[in-house]
Amino acid sequence: MRRDATPRRYLMCPPAHFKVTYSINPWMDPTKPVDLPLALAQWEDLRDRYRSLGHTVEVLDPVPDLPDMVYAANGATVVDGRVLGARFAHPERAAEAEAHLAWFRAHGYTEIHEPAHINEGEGDFAVTASYVLSGRGFRSSPLSADEAQEFFGRPVIGLDLVDPRYYHLDTALSVLDGDEVMYFPEAFSPGSRAVLRRLFPDALIATERDAAVLGLNAVSDGRHVFLPQAATGLFEPLRERGFEPVGMDLGELLKGGGSVKCCTLELRD
């Protein structure tokens, strides 16, 4: 099958103030040192890779004392140019929501909704051709699904996450193209697994080994799939489907519990 990349616009935030000083997910160990210059170099690599493949990367200014801001995917969800702001579950990240809103206001977005319910942006919302998938269980409120459905006017499907290592939907499921996804079933409740099988019978099913290196924290432009390079088991199945895997090393940012997708907010204008 021939796969075509379409040019995308991404919003990213450099890890200038990145550190792991608190722990709000099982990946974060404040006693483990972070190599900041290396984190920056790895992030720049991802940004440059997007640009070299024809994508636009907008840059959000990092704010001191918001070390998790590098995970830009959590700050909003943009569909059809409509911006659903975030509301973070943990006080440590709360101020990121306003920094994102300010960026969107300054960049000409007019349809902006400040949410009533907790949602951590594209951490828990995944956009396919037909649906918005909405993760819940650890961060986003189940009520955020209805709020997103009303604002975007697209059917929103709630999915229950059950494994704390996969605390955001984007650590367990990734949209490849249209209504094609890859996911790790064990991260979901039995009922949600059945929903996923029904909606996506041809999905690429990831193994525990690839999920455990955050291999599902991937970004696709319809052809290239940018993903953690350690997720080697996903490369061949992606190629068989006509995709081109692009392995990235974001090892320093894994210490905060995120990788490629977490660092990338898609601007679907």
Strand 173-177 and strand 180-183: pairing?
A: antiparallel
How many residues lie near ligand ARG (CB under 6 A)? 16
Q: Which stretch binds ligand ARG (CB under 6 A): 38-46, 163-171, 187-195, 221-229?
A: 163-171
Please say if 263 is a catalytic residue: no
Tell me how far the alpha carbon of residue 194 is from its chain's centroid. Answer: 23
H helical segments located in the chain: 36-52, 96-106, 143-152, 190-199, 208-211, 235-240, 251-254
Q: Interface with ligand ARG includes 183 (CB under 6 A)? A: no
Binding mask 197-226 for ligand ARG (x = CB under 6 A): ------------------------------
Nearest one of 50, 43, 106 to 69, comparing CA atoms: 43
Number of alpha helices (DSSP H) and beta strands (DSSP E) in the chain: 7, 15
Half-sphere exposure of 221 (CA within 13 A, CB side): 22
The residue from 13, 100, 224, 262 that is catalytic is 262
Structural tokens at position 98: 């306003």
Report how far residue 266's alpha carbon sits from residue 68's, in angstroms, rounded to the nearest whole number. Answer: 18
Nearer to ligand ARG, 78 or 262 (CB): 262
Residue 248 makes contact with ligand ARG by CB under 6 A:
no
Q: Is 13 a catalytic residue?
A: no
Q: Answer yes or no whether residue 73 interacts with ligand ARG by CB under 6 A.
A: yes
Give the integer Cα–Cα distance in Å for 35 and 145.
37
Q: Residue 168, interface with ligand ARG (CB under 6 A)?
A: yes
Per CB under 6 A, the segment of 22-30, 76-84, 130-138, 175-183 that binds ligand ARG is: 22-30
Among 137, 215, 245, 257, binds ligand ARG (CB under 6 A): 257
Binding residues (CB under 6 A) for ligand ARG: these are 24-25, 28, 68, 71, 73-74, 93, 123, 168, 170-171, 256-258, 262
- Give the active site residues: 168, 262
